[in-house]
Amino acid sequence: MLRTTTLALGLVAALAGQAAATDQPVVRREVDDRKAIIATVSPIRDLKARARIGGTVTTLTVREGDSVAAGARIALVVDPKLALQIQALDSRIEAQKANLEQAKIDFDRVQQLRTTGTSSQAQLDQARTRLDNAERLLRALRSDRDVVEQQSTEGEVLAPGAGRVLTVPVAVGSVVMPGETIATLAADHYILRLQLPERHARSLKAGDEILVGSRGLQPQDQETLRRGRVTLVYPQIEQGRVVADAVVEGLGDYFVGERTRVYVGTGKREALVVPADYVYRRSGVSYVRLKDGTEVPVQVGLPVDGGIELLAGARDGDIVVKP
């Protein structure tokens, strides 16, 4: 009988200790004061696929929205004059080959006559000079032909990097000049571009954590927040705003220029905080359960370190339990 009573008392003590361990006070402490702003999805950089030669666009292999790999062919630019230049250079090369053969024959003849004393040294030097000039001219013509051939191969417009095609401002049959843009690409990796009033410039720095709202600018009470991090704060203020870049996972399927809500820390303030798993929802309303069993409707704020902020419904020092 005594042993049974001891076990019962131990069980009651254990349950009481477990219940006490699950009790949490609502505490007021310092948290980040986060400001809601609208950020824009932007590529890390815009890539320009440009024509290297002038001519007519004969082939386009991409359109807006396509994903391309680095080095993929985007378009083909053809200049008909290049083929005519190659034909003209081929004719000049053939003619120069004939001149070179004649210069070799003349040089060999003068060299033989010089051994017999019939020809002078001046005539031999002149023949050698004509042969050297004919050889140099043939090499120059061949180099010119190589240049024109290289220009014809540069008609292929290649993607400067992997990404998604944003704009294609030309069409098949368009006449383009060297350096003209054939397509604009957004690099594969996207960032969030933030713009804050300049009074927050001193409080914003690289490495700060941000909270990113749901896609589509949903109401705040329906948001699923994700965490990101500021990577760069630009040193120039534009039109009274400081600009910063932040990285967030999962932006690959966003549209370039799409906007989303972001919460950025701009200072410190005090707030009531409880662990997030002590707050539960029913019929669209958030509740916490006090130690005496009372359910209290509360208005929740943003997630903070160690829990979630309570904006209304609870008081400092209230003891809440897990639902």
List the CATH number of the domain containing 177: 2.40.50.100
Query: Do 303 and 230 fall into the same domain?
Result: yes
Tell me, rounded to whole angstroms, the distance of Cα 56 from its chain centroid: 31
Query: Do 226 and 117 fall into the same domain?
Result: no
Query: Do 202 and 315 fall into the same domain?
Result: yes
State the residue range of the domain holding 175. 49-77+160-187
Using CA atoms, how far apart are residues 58 and 79, in angstroms rounded to an integer? 10
Structure tokens at 82: 């290049």
Whether 221 maps to a domain, the answer reads yes
Query: Do 63 and 177 fall into the same domain?
Result: yes
Using CA atoms, how far apart are residues 314 and 308, in angstroms rounded to an integer? 13
Whether 15 maps to a domain, the answer reads no
Whether 11 maps to a domain, the answer reads no
Q: Which one, of 211, 158, 219, 148, lies nearest residue 183 by Cα?
A: 158
Using CA atoms, how far apart are residues 183 and 76, in angstroms rounded to an integer? 12
Whether 4 maps to a domain, the answer reads no
Instruction: Please report the pLDDT score of residue 223 as a whole number.
Output: 57
pLDDT digits (tens, 9 = 90+) for 26-63: 878 877 778 888 888 988 888 999 999 888 899 999 99
Query: Do 209 and 110 fall into the same domain?
Result: no
The per-residue b/e assignment along 247-283, b for 16 or more CB within 10 angstroms, e otherwise, is bbeebeebeeebebbbbbbbeeeebbbbeeebbeeee
Q: Would you say residue 251 has pLDDT above 50? A: yes
Query: Do 118 and 68 fall into the same domain?
Result: no
What is the pTM assigned to this prediction?
Answer: 0.59
Whether 90 maps to a domain, the answer reads yes
Whether 66 maps to a domain, the answer reads yes
Query: Do 196 and 298 fall into the same domain?
Result: yes
pLDDT digits (tens, 9 = 90+) for 142-188: 999 888 888 878 888 999 988 889 999 999 989 999 999 999 998 87
Quickly list DSSP for 27-47.
EEEEEEEEEEEEEEEEES-EE
Instruction: Please report the pLDDT score of residue 182 as a whole number.
Output: 94
Query: Do 87 and 68 fall into the same domain?
Result: no
Query: Do 35 and 95 fall into the same domain?
Result: no
Question: How many distinct structural domains can be found in the chain?
Answer: 3
Q: Would you say residue 135 has pLDDT above 50? A: yes
C-alpha distances (whole Å) from 170 to each of 101, 136, 178, 183 are 50, 43, 14, 8
Instruction: Please report the pLDDT score of residue 218 as a whole number.
Output: 56
Asked whether 291 and 23 are in contact (CB, 8 A), the reply is yes
Q: Which residue has the tokens 């309570």?
A: 310
Torsion angle, alpha carbons of 7, 11, 14, 15, to 10: -170
Structure tokens at 41: 């999805």
Query: Do 40 and 68 fall into the same domain?
Result: no
Whether 16 maps to a domain, the answer reads no
Query: Do 165 and 90 fall into the same domain?
Result: no
Whether 5 maps to a domain, the answer reads no
List the CATH number of the domain containing 193: 2.40.30.170
Query: Do 200 and 299 fall into the same domain?
Result: yes
